[in-house]
Amino acid sequence: MKSFFIAVVAIAAVLQPCHAAIKVAAGQVNSTTGASAVDTQNQNVDTFLQLMSQAVSQGAVFIDFPEFSLMGSFEFDLCSSTFTVAAFGEVIGAAGHRIDCNGTGPLSRIGCSDAAKVLHVSYNTVENAAGIFFNTQVVVHNGVIVASYRKYNVFYKNCFASPQLELITFVVQNTTFGIFTCYDILFEHPKMDLVRAGVKYFSYSSAIPLIGADAVSLFGAENGVNVVSSNANTGQSSIVDHGLTIAQAPSGGNYVVVATLA
C-alpha cells in the first residue's frame, strides 16, 4: 500500500465550528509572456493584484487563481527535466512562515499586498525545494504563508517532481477549505481523502480545457461540496455550490467571479 502523510491540519476539518456564509472569488487570468521568466511572472502578478483589488471591493475574503497562470505561454511538453522550470522557481516556507515583504518575487508581491490583508489568496507556482521543483498551490494572507500543497498527481512528469501525498486544509472565517489541483480531480487521492475527512469547501486550481467547469460541477454534486475553481482556460473559472454553478467567468479577458457560499 502506498504510504502517505496526512497533515495535522486535515484532521481539524471535522472539528471546525459552524460558519456563516462566506464571499469568495475565482480569478480568470489571460496569462501573458514577457522577455524572461521574471518579466513573465511580474506581468501576471500585476494582473493578480488588479483582480484581488476588485475582489476586495466586492466583499470577498478568499480568491483562487488558476494553475500555471504565472508562467505565460511556457511549453510544458518541451521539458527535458524538472530543471527546465527552474527559472520560475521560488522558495516556499512552511505554513505559518512570515513572508519577506522586501522581496520582489510572486510570493512577496502577492502575500504582502494591501489586498492580501483582507483576502486569503490561493495561487499556483513552481516551488523550488532545495533544487527539486514541485507544482505547488500556495495560500497566503497578510504577509504569512497559510498553507501549501504540492500537486500529487503530476501531469507533466518531465517538468515537476512527484511529492509525498499530503492532505492540506486551511481555514478562512471558520470555514475549512481543502486543496487539490487540476489532474487530481481524476483520482481518489487526495480528493476523496479530503471529502472523507469532512471537508466541504475546496480551493481548486486547474488548466483543464473546455470541460473544466463541468468536471468541477460534477464533483460538487456527487459529494455535496462547494468549490472555488479557477481555470487557466477562458470561460471555465467558476464557483460551485453543491454541484450548482452559481457564478462563472465569461469568455475572454481578465475577470474576477464573486459569489457567496452558505
pLDDT of residue 10: 42
pLDDT of residue 209: 83
Considering the entire predicted model, what is its pTM?
0.93
Can you say whether the dihedral through the CA atoms of 27, 83, 136, 3 is positive or negative?
Answer: positive
pLDDT of residue 78: 94
The β-bridge relationship of strands 201-206 and 226-231 is parallel
Distances (CA, A) of 127 to 85, 147, 185, 189, 199: 10, 13, 21, 21, 25
CATH class as words, domain 8-261: alpha beta
pLDDT of residue 208: 85
What ranges do the domains of the chain cover? Answer: 8-261
Q: What is the mean pLDDT of each run of 10 residues along the chain (262 residues)?
A: 43 52 97 97 98 98 98 95 96 97 98 98 98 98 98 97 98 97 96 98 92 91 98 95 96 96 93
Nearest to 137 by CA among 146, 120, 150: 150
Kindly state the cell numbers that stand for 219: 464533483
**CB-based contacts of 46: which residues, under 8 Å, 6+ apart?**
none
pLDDT of residue 18: 59
pLDDT of residue 16: 52
pLDDT of residue 130: 96
Residue 82 phi, psi dihedral angles, 5° rounding: -65, -20
